[in-house]
Amino acid sequence: MSKREVLARLRDAIVNLDIDGVKNAAREALETGLTPYEAIMEGMAKGMEVVGQKYEAGEYFLAELIMAGETMKEGLSVLEPHMKAGDMKHIGRVVIGTVEGDLHDIGKNVVVTLLTASGFEVIDLGVDVSAEKFVEAVKQYNPDIVAMSALLTTTMVNMAKVIKALEEAGVRSKVKVIVGGAPLTEEYARQIGADAYGRDAVEGVNICKKWASKK
């Protein structure tokens, strides 16, 4: 099979949410001599773009977005062991986490997958992440972007605490801050001093991509 055919298979497997198909196509990609980077960016990520478009067009819903994320993860699990450090040219670095007191991570994980597929290096701090942990991670990893998720009205206030802590630590101006999660609004994001609000993962990642291209 030609490289082009394998890339098309990778793309289609993501669009069709086909876990077995994506694993097989990822193995074929390696056999055909594609690099894992090419398989991700020119194959699976193209599929993710189509999934995003279908979501925006109302053809796909959240369930498909989550499944596409899972499918992508399965494909990555085949390719990752074959990736050499420095193989992947990252377009930016993102520190992400669900804020303190909040254990919801399904949406955040979709954001992580889409960011990774778009070429970002993502440091995922997980759930229930305190302001101190965000600040430590910013000092340690020197990211371009800090992304926060909250699904509870009682925890979204903790996003403001993180931004304040970044200010107090003198690192706020070094990063762009994007926030997301079901209870948030554009207005709330502005009010707490975030640089952007992502209504969903697709919009959020598009904003991050725009920032990366302006670097």
Cβ closest to ligand B12, residue 26 vs residue 158: 158
Distances (CA, A) of 165 to 66, 74, 78, 132: 32, 36, 39, 7
Torsion sign over Cα 182, 188, 190, 191: negative
Cβ closest to ligand B12, residue 12 vs residue 64: 64
Nearest to 107, CA basis, from 180, 210, 206, 14: 180
- Please list the alpha-helical segments (H only) found in the chain: 3-15, 19-31, 36-38, 45-56, 62-79, 106-117, 131-141, 157-168, 186-191, 201-213
Pattern 33-72, ligand B12, x by CB under 6 A: -----------------------------x--xx------
Number of residues that bind ligand B12 (CB under 6 A): 30
Would you state the structure tokens that stand for residue 152, as one six-digit string? Answer: 């509870």
From 83, 152, 157, 169, residue interacting with ligand B12 (rule: CB under 6 A): 152
Considering only 41-49, 105-113, 136-144, 161-169, which stretch makes contact with ligand B12 by CB under 6 A?
Answer: 105-113
- Considering only residues 161-200, where is the footprint of ligand B12 by CB under 6 A? 178-183, 198, 200
Least CB distance from residue 8 to ligand B12, whole Å?
26
Least CB distance from residue 102 to ligand B12, whole Å?
4
Is 157 one of the binding residues for ligand B12 (CB under 6 A)?
Answer: no
Least CB distance from residue 63 to ligand B12, whole Å?
9
Pattern 65-104, ligand B12, x by CB under 6 A: xx----------------------------------xxxx
Is 149 one of the binding residues for ligand B12 (CB under 6 A)?
Answer: yes
137-142 long-range contacts, CB within 8 A, separation 24+: 137/95, 137/97, 138/95, 138/166, 138/169, 138/171, 138/174, 138/175, 139/169, 139/171, 141/93, 141/95, 142/93, 142/174
Nearest to 135, CA basis, from 92, 177, 104: 177
From 107, 116, 120, 158, residue interacting with ligand B12 (rule: CB under 6 A): 107
Is 108 one of the binding residues for ligand B12 (CB under 6 A)?
Answer: yes
Is 126 one of the binding residues for ligand B12 (CB under 6 A)?
Answer: no
| CA–CA distance, 188 with 160 (Å, rounded to integer) | 10
> 178: part of which helix (H) or strand (E)?
strand 176-180
Binding stretches for ligand B12 (CB under 6 A): 62, 65-66, 101-108, 110-111, 147-149, 151-154, 178-183, 198, 200-201, 204
